[in-house]
Amino acid sequence: MELPGRIQGKLEMKTKNNSLGEIAGELKKAKRVVIFPHMNVDGDAMGTASSICLGLRSLGIDSYVYLDESIPNNLDFLEAGCCTGDPDIVNGDTTVLMVDCSSVSRIGRRKDVFLRGGRSICIDHHSTGEGDTTFDMEHIEPDSAACSELAYLLLMELGVTLDLAMANSLFAGISTDSGNFQYSNTTARTHLIAAKLFDVPGFDPKAVSSLVYERNSFSSMKMSSLVVERARFMCGGKLVYGEITMDDLERTGAQMNETDGIIQRLMSIDGVETAVIFKENGPDLVKVSMRARSWLNVGDVAQRLGGGGHVRAAGCSLKMGLDQAEPVVLDELKKQMEIDSQEKF
């Protein structure tokens, strides 16, 4: 059955888009490159940042990843000796490179450091940027499953010979953002790039997967079970939602940055088209993650609520309590389900 959501989900490409070749040319001229992944770093943001950093260093270009937060435990190897927390790393001669996001609002308190840089470049695969930040050069490709795919293509444009650390970063980025090659964003190119990594001596995807997926803390497993146990359904079982409160984190001992995978468990329930997780981030702040399986445009829902993301994976933050946030989001989702499926729920 072909549903209209598919067509609506097709996103317009940005008009101003530099090629990765042009960006490679610019990076080669840089005295120093400092890379800014989005806050609450995930596998793709870190994989993109460290692979590009290592690639530039292999060409003799002074490069760093600037972070002001710790990397989640299972992604620690993506640090790869690249990260610095020193804001003085950026001066007016520095080329600043934003990756896996395209707005200063996504880099938190590092914004001032980014804006201090000289030339600014952005490489991203999100379609719904806030549009509040201009860059000297940008390459935004919403059809790319992972920003790490773009990182691979950039490294090829730069003429970098991939080493094991770069391959590990790229694979971690591609595999996490494509949901282990299962999400609808996965393309032939996603697989072809992953296949190319096998040419790198010593590359072992199982070893990378073990690091990323087989180092859960027991407390995060308890947190996950709690969310599943309390999950609630709407729209005839097509919508499932769950919540994570500050109290839950305290009770289970889990960290908020360990809860990212829980939504996938809800998504894997038979008959579910969309899953939502509400994360209480303070007394009046709720972070909302949304996923869709095949036809619902959650990107549009997130955008209406002041957030963004992709067609089938998006999120937003709401400055209100959990009790207020839930009906607001669920109502918007229900509306979108009716638009995209032309059914009444």
- Residues that bind Mn ion in the complex, under the rule CB under 5 A: 44, 100, 147, 177
- Cβ neighbours for 271, distance < 8 A, ≥ 6 positions apart: 237, 238
In angstroms, give the least distance from the CB of 329 to Mn ion: 22
Q: Beta 285-292 vs 137-140: how paired, if at all?
A: unpaired
In angstroms, give the least distance from the CB of 58 to Mn ion: 23
When the beta carbons of 183 and 203 are compared against Mn ion, the nearer one is: 183
CA distance 25 to 71: 30
When the beta carbons of 185 and 252 are compared against Mn ion, the nearer one is: 185
Q: Is the dihedral of CA 149, 57, 74, 247 positive or negative?
A: negative
In angstroms, give the least distance from the CB of 173 to Mn ion: 7
In angstroms, give the least distance from the CB of 248 to Mn ion: 26
Read off the DSSP letter of residue 279. E
CA distance 273 to 333: 11
Q: Which residues does residue 302 pair with via DSSP β-bridges, in sequence order?
A: none
Cβ atoms 178, 215 nearer than 8 A? no
When the beta carbons of 145 and 286 are compared against Mn ion, the nearer one is: 145
When the beta carbons of 177 and 340 are compared against Mn ion, the nearer one is: 177
When the beta carbons of 54 and 147 are compared against Mn ion, the nearer one is: 147
Give the H or E element holding residue 64: strand 62-66
When the beta carbons of 20 and 147 are compared against Mn ion, the nearer one is: 147
Q: Beta 137-140 vs 232-234: how paired, if at all?
A: unpaired
When the beta carbons of 299 and 340 are compared against Mn ion, the nearer one is: 299
Phi, then psi, of 309 in degrees rounded to 5: 140, -140
Helix (H, G, I), strand (E, B) or coil at 22: helix
Q: Which candidate, 301, 10, 298, 27, places its Cα nearest to that of 139?
A: 27
In angstroms, give the least distance from the CB of 43 to Mn ion: 8
Read off the DSSP letter of residue 88. G
User: Shortest Cβ contact with Mn ion: which residue?
Assistant: 44
In angstroms, give the least distance from the CB of 295 to Mn ion: 22
In angstroms, give the least distance from the CB of 279 to Mn ion: 19
Cβ atoms 46, 71 nearer than 8 A? yes
When the beta carbons of 83 and 231 are compared against Mn ion, the nearer one is: 83
In angstroms, give the least distance from the CB of 340 to Mn ion: 23
Helix (H, G, I), strand (E, B) or coil at 232: strand
When the beta carbons of 178 and 336 are compared against Mn ion, the nearer one is: 178
Phi, then psi, of 17 in degrees rounded to 5: -140, 120
Q: Which candidate, 196, 257, 250, 261, places its Cα nearest to that of 225?
A: 261
In angstroms, give the least distance from the CB of 236 to Mn ion: 31
Q: Which candidate, 150, 165, 129, places its Cα nearest to that of 44?
A: 150
Structure tokens, 261? 């995978």
